[in-house]
Amino acid sequence: MTEVTKQRDTLAKWAKSMFDRGLTGGASGNISLRLSDGTLLVTPTGSSMGFLDPGRISHLDEAGLLLSGDAPTKEMPLHSAFYETRTNTGAVVHLHSSHSVALSVLPDIDPDNVLPPLTAYSIMRLGKVKLLPFFLPGDPEMGDAVRGLAGKRSAVLLAHHGPVVAGKDLEAAVYAMEELEETAKLALLTQGLSPRLLNEQQIGAVVRKFDVDWD
């Protein structure tokens, strides 16, 4: 089995898992994965993550030209920006998960760090999550906005749209995405209840112990 065939199967497995658990629905969301030769596997445009045909997953060369499979997601500028600015990126996951989208439209969130410090795990797996403004789906300016962060964020939240997470591999990106959605859910559940947040000393301890980017 070639690396392309094996990783197409892996990508389809993770995509179905997220779809089946309600993290994204319909034909929403997209995933990319970088292979050892620098080429990319990407979910096709208009496809449902719950019903991917592995053989039709897009395979792109390093210049973004289609080698095999169907045409890739229109959100490729978003994915490309993470690969270009974060050299350790091995996969990118973008979903339209409900709690994260709901959090993105609230008026009183911190645009530089949208997730309140409710747990150590959101800090460990995500660092600070930047809120980006609304863009039309597929707008190349989304990629420009990510490039403007100069590689300092592994996760962003697109207002009125959904989260995007980069990881060292697909498993890490999926786990971080799940943590983002669960923390957004906790933030909504505790909104207006004055929850006890991790203090600066506790946050600093997590950042130091797990070597988290937190600037």
Active-site residue numbers? 75, 121
Q: Which helix (H) or strand (E) holds 41?
A: strand 40-42
Buried b (16+ CB within 10 A) or exposed e, 108-135: ebeeebbbbbbbbbbbbbbbbbbbbeeb
Q: Which residues lie closer than 8 Å to 107 by C-beta, 6 or more apart?
A: none
Cβ–Cβ under 8 Å, residues 155 and 101: no
The DSSP secondary structure of 83-124, one letter per residue, reads HHH-TT--EEEE---HHHHHHHT-TTS-TT--S-S--HHHHH
- What length does the chain have? 215
Contact 78, 157 (CB under 8 A): no
Q: Which residues contact 124 (CB under 8 A, 6 or more apart)?
A: 206, 210, 212
* DSSP state letter for 212: -
Distance CA 117, CA 205 (A): 13
